[in-house]
Amino acid sequence: MTTLATDKPRAYELGEFNSFPVIAADIIYEGAVVGDNASGFARPLAAADPFLGFAQEKVDNSTGAAGDKRVRVHDAGKIVLPITSLAITDRGKPVYASDDDTFTLTATGNTYIGMVVRWISTGIGLIAFNAKRGGAITALTDSSGGTAADTLPAIEGTYTEATIETTVASLARKVNLLIAMQK
């Protein structure tokens, strides 16, 4: 291994930013949630895309080929967002996006983007986000037939099948939440 014997200036980026090549024939607007199209190109987020961040500025690649332009994103920080049905009691709950400008507390089919840090007003909250978290863990498919709950039922000597199903469904929901939070 060779060690440096002289100074070697390096390029550093300040802040929480990144940049990605944009898909062909599309526009990403400033403030849009940006997703990965599964081929390494950025696009306006579609539900279930991996989250890359929020677009810092508009990038018009509507007449370009894939990768002709790059989008600069904020990939970590806090942002004020409108969130469907957000209430004052929702601090700490996960937030998901179903497209580049629709935010919800509903996980199913959507992309995890962050957590509610502060309720501002009905439907408006401050969200902490971090797109740098990666993860190769996939969500569990719950085919238990149970109904997920926040409290696990006691499984004693005389249990019912419904009790087991509810326990499995509840655990699957919490595991999937943890997986989403790591992405």
The confidence score (pLDDT) of residue 81 equals 97
Spatial contact of 78 and 117, defined as CB atoms under 8 Å apart: yes
Which of 31-35, 48-52, 109-113, 145-149 shows the lowest mean pLDDT across its residues? 145-149
Does the structure show a pLDDT above 80 at 137?
A: no
Cβ neighbours, 10 Å, residue 160: 10
Q: What is the mean pLDDT of residues 5-14?
A: 82
Q: Which two tokens stand for residue 91?
A: 């601090």
Does the structure show a pLDDT above 60 at 143?
A: yes
Spatial contact of 93 and 118, defined as CB atoms under 8 Å apart: no
State the pLDDT confidence band at 38, using cuts at 50, 70 and 90: very high
pTM, full prediction: 0.73
| Residue from 80, 75, 40, 69 nearest 55 by CA | 75
Q: Which two tokens stand for residue 76?
A: 């970590």
The confidence score (pLDDT) of residue 135 equals 46
| Residue from 99, 95, 85, 4 nearest 43 by CA | 99
pLDDT digits (tens, 9 = 90+) for 77-97: 999 999 999 999 999 999 999
Does the structure show a pLDDT above 80 at 139?
A: no
Burial class (CB in 10 A: 0-12, 13-18, 19+), 27: middle
